[in-house]
Each structure stands twice: as structure tokens, then as C-alpha cells.
Amino acid sequence: MNLILHVWRQASSDSPGKMERYEARDVSPDMSFLEMLDVVNEGLVESGKVPIAFDHDCREGICGSCGMMINGVAHGPMKGTATCQLHMRSFTDGAEVYVEPWRSRAFPVIKDLVVNRGALDRIIAAGGFISVRTGSAQDGNNLPVAKDAAEDAMDAAACIGCGACVAACPNGSASLFTAAKISHLGLLPQGQPERQRRAARMVAQMDAEGFGHCTLYGECQEACPKEISIDTIARMNHDFITATLATREEKSLGGVG
């Protein structure tokens, strides 16, 4: 099959970008979307043109490196699938395909389809962990975890940090990403001591990074390659509000003392 691609090209973060038109010829339906881009890139190099830059690594849908807007949809038309696992059989011969980087104020473009997602790491650094020094853990079976809690925590922990939720959100919110981690750790008994602090700090960091607020469009869960539910956002809001109230109480007590 043959396709017409329109790809966002931008030489660097401070230079202007534009859509460029390319022809992808003799595409096999068995190729992944990224393999199709590989072939286009090899053709570009052969004709002396700089290839299209895009992030990718594991190519099995787990590392979260890849991600692009394909015809305006984060990760393209197949639900629950990262770009690397999207295959060309999802497209028809002769189709025109528009490929753009993630668009969000908090994800500046580095080059072409490559964006800086460092903000997501900083949200985790703000509180997305359980503080446990290496070597200080008790026996793993000393703390039973209800099977349901473990399963729900795993559902949330499946997040690959690709940023599709941000790119899909009309507000550019990172709520699904942040909520997934707050839920994963907050559902487990190990995560209880830091639960409120975690929610308060991660939400504050999300705001500081310039992500928008959640108004429950639900686009994020549609785009999520791991199909993480926006139920996690309800859990985040609950923990955040509880944390806010608890902090106030602490402060007023401090004032009295």
C-alpha cells in the first residue's frame, strides 16, 4: 500500500516548525507504524534529507518512549495500543496521515516529533514513591495485601508514562498520569503513611509544571494505551481534598500551641 504522510518538522525547540508532505511507498500491512517511519527515514537519508526524529525504544508497548498524534488522535486509531504496536493494516491504501508531536504547554518540542516529558518525572519526584531505605524492609509476607487491592493497584500501576493522556486532554492536564500513581500507592497498605502528603505534593507539582486542570472530558482514558480508568482521578481528588483539610488542621493546631 501507498500513503501520503504530513509530518511535523521542527529543527529545534526555538525554531518554527511546519507540516511536510512525504510519500510512503510499498508499505506492508504487517509493518508497525514506527517501521513505516523507519522506511520513510531510510528513503530520506538516501536522498540526502535529514530523517524525521521520533522517540522510541522497546517497540513492544511497555517503555512509554513513543507517542505521536496520528490524524489528531494520541497513538492513532487502535484503542489500548501504543504507537509502536499500531500496525499499518489499520490504514487503507492511499490514505493521508497527519503525524504531529504531543501538544502541551508542559511538553516543549525538542525536535520534530520528540518532546520533553521531564515534567512527568518531576511529578513522581514530588511524592510518587514510598520512602523505604534499601535494607530496611520486613519479610514480604508480614504484610498481607487483599487480592482485590493488589489487583486494583496493579491496574493503576500499569501506566507507562507516555504522556498520551496529556496530549489528548483539551486542558493539557496530567491528571490521569498523576492519579494513576497516587492510586497505585494509595491502594496498598504500604502506601498509607505518606498518602496525604503524596497527593498534596504531586498535585502541587502538576500545577507548577503548567499542566491544565481536569474537567472530566474523559479523553485521557480513551487515549491511554493501558486503558487506565478516570476512576483514579476521583481517588486523587479524594486524597488531595483530605490532605488539604488535614494540613489546615495541623496549621491551626500549631497556631494554638
Binding mask 109-148 for other proteins (x = CB under 8 A): -xx--x-xxx-xx--xxx-xxxxxxxxxxxxxx-xxxxx-
Helix (H) / strand (E) element for 10: namely strand 3-10
Phi, psi of 237, deg, nearest 5: -60, -40
**Cβ-based nearer residue to other proteins, 95 or 158:** 158
Among 76, 191, 212, 225, binds other proteins (CB under 8 A): 191
Stretch that binds other proteins, among 16-24, 151-159, 210-218, 234-242 (CB under 8 A): 151-159
Q: Give the interface segment with other proteins, choosing from 28-36, 169-177, 211-219, 245-253 (CB under 8 A).
A: 28-36
Which position has the grid cell 486503558?
A: 227
Contact criterion met (CB below 8 Å) for 186 and 118: no
For residue 246, the tally of other CB atoms under 10 A from its CB is 13
From the list 166-174, 183-191, 212-220, 230-238, the region that binds other proteins by CB under 8 A is: 183-191
List of residues 6+ apart from 216 with CB closer than 8 A: 230, 233
Radius of gyration of the chain (CA): 21
Report phi then psi at 115, rounded to 5: -120, 165
Q: Which is nearer to other proteins, 73 or 185 (CB)?
A: 185
Site residues (CB under 8 A) for other proteins, limited to 46-75: 46, 48-51, 53, 55-60, 62-65
Is residue 77 close enough to count as binding other proteins by CB under 8 A?
A: no
Contact criterion met (CB below 8 Å) for 227 and 160: no
C-alpha span between 90 and 233 (Å, rounded): 31
Select from 1-9, 91-99, 107-115, 229-237 the region that touches other proteins (CB under 8 A): 107-115
Site residue total, other proteins (CB under 8 A)? 78
102 or 240, CB closer to other proteins? 102
